[in-house]
Structure 1
Amino acid sequence: MLRSSRSLRLILLACVVVVAASGLSGCGGGDDPKPKSSVPAGFDVPDGVTITKPGTKRVAGESASVVYQVDEKATSAITVTITNVRKGMIEDFRFFSLSPEQQASSPFYVDLAVVNEGPAGLGGVALPVFAHDDSNTLLPPTPIVGSFAPCPTGELPESFLPGQSATLCMVYLVPAGHALVSVDLEPDGSDSTITWTP
């Protein structure tokens, strides 16, 4: 946990999810494995919602609708729009205690809008949105507790019922020597990925 001189706390996740080579597009050697269904068995897609196919590529400003199954009791369709991807400055973190590796990283701020299409409430749920760098590594968002003007509001509200929408901003620290390739939404693992190119 990082603590700033203004008593803000920056919680950095210690692990990253490495994309398995078998899940990367363009890998040769036989037939590709059959992708997972984008709609779980028994789930009724809400009227007016079209589920986006896994593997779809988007650009900033475009939306995608997926079914997000948090647990057995909370499964809902959501529509996610990555509205902007902004490159920050490490000086933005001047009030935080950063390790040398973190000080050498490149911050990115991802602005997004989320609509809960229903039928379940998703209050306080973490969204499976990752920064994908050029080493084929998925970087989870860096949660920030307290006020952070360049990129506030990284979590869904405690009450997020069907029909409600939220505007979020997520912070990602891309390691030195690597570039941001895409922002990935993975509602059900690597073979459910939808990507936005910054």
Structure 2
Amino acid sequence: MKVAMTAVAVAVLLLAGCGGGDEQEEPEPDVPAGFDVPEGVTLTEPDTALDVGASGTVVIDLGGGAASATTVEVSEVIKGRMRDFRFFSLDEQTKKSTPYYVQAAVTNEGPAGLGGVSLPLLAHTDADTLYPASELVGEFEKCPDPTIPENFLPGESADVCLIFLVPEGEGLETIDLQPGEPADAVRWQP
């Protein structure tokens, strides 16, 4: 009995040592052709899950050959109340949503300017649906500064606050920084 167990153990060890060719490669960050990652900047691997307070770095492709490495730190995700929007004109379905205020610090790592660019942060719900940030007309004290500055040059940082209205019946799973395809996203779990 002891010999049989030893033979089985040796066979398992031999099999475990074989087959190294089937290892899956780690996904590479999506980088536009010809883009050189700035020195000292490390891109975050696609499909990385981060805790709130951690930062991730992706490349935002501006088109026309311009792109810039961008670091985002989601610092806070706050569940709001619809009564915060009592002075806004909302349809009945939107009034049943759950608002979330997402505070983030954004740094343009370069080489291109990012002025006027929408930050590709999305709310990812438990219904596997992605929602962009809501755009409000007027000032909103609970979540000011929804956009990065018009002149946002390499080396500059800014704080933003985005509002996501998650529809009734859905729950917030993650906040996704999605520079390209959904598989390229970096996700914060609130």
TM-score exceeds 0.5: yes
* Counterpart contact for 1:38–1:51, Cα < 8 Å: no
The two structures have a TM-score, normalised by structure 2, of 0.84
Aligned match of 2:133: 141
Structure 1: 5+ residue runs without aligned partners? 1-31
Which ranges in structure 2 are unaligned for 5 or more consecutive residues? 1-23
Q: 2:81 — aligned with what?
A: 89
Calculate the TM-score normalised by the size of structure 1. 0.80
User: Is contact 2:27-2:45 (8 Å) kept?
Assistant: no
Q: 1:124 aligns with which of 116, 119, 127?
A: 116
- C-alpha separation in 2, matches of 1:175 and 1:73: 37
Deviation of residue 143 (structure 1)? 1.2
Tell whether 2:38 aligns with 1:46.
yes
- Cross-structure match for 1:185: 177
Q: Which protein has the larger Cα radius of gyration, Structure 1 or Structure 2?
A: 2
Once the two structures are TM-superposed, the CA of residue 35 in structure 1 deviates from its matched residue by: 5.4
Q: Tell me whether 1:80 sits opposite 2:52 in the alignment.
A: no
Whose helix fraction is larger, Structure 1's or Structure 2's?
A: 2
In the TM superposition, what is the alpha-carbon distance from 1:70 to its structure 2 partner?
1.6
Corresponding letter in the other structure for 2:169: G
Q: Which has the higher contact order (CA 8 A, sep 6+)?
A: 1
Stretch moving more, 173-182 or 68-77 = 68-77
Looking at structure 1, the residues matched to 135 and 29 of structure 2 have their Cα atoms a distance apart, in angstroms, of 30
State the identity as a percent: 49
Separation in 2, partners of 1:163, 1:82: 18
Whether the 8 Å CA contact 2:32–2:67 is kept in 1: the answer is no
* Number of equivalent positions: 166
Residue type matched to 1:76 in 2?
A: S
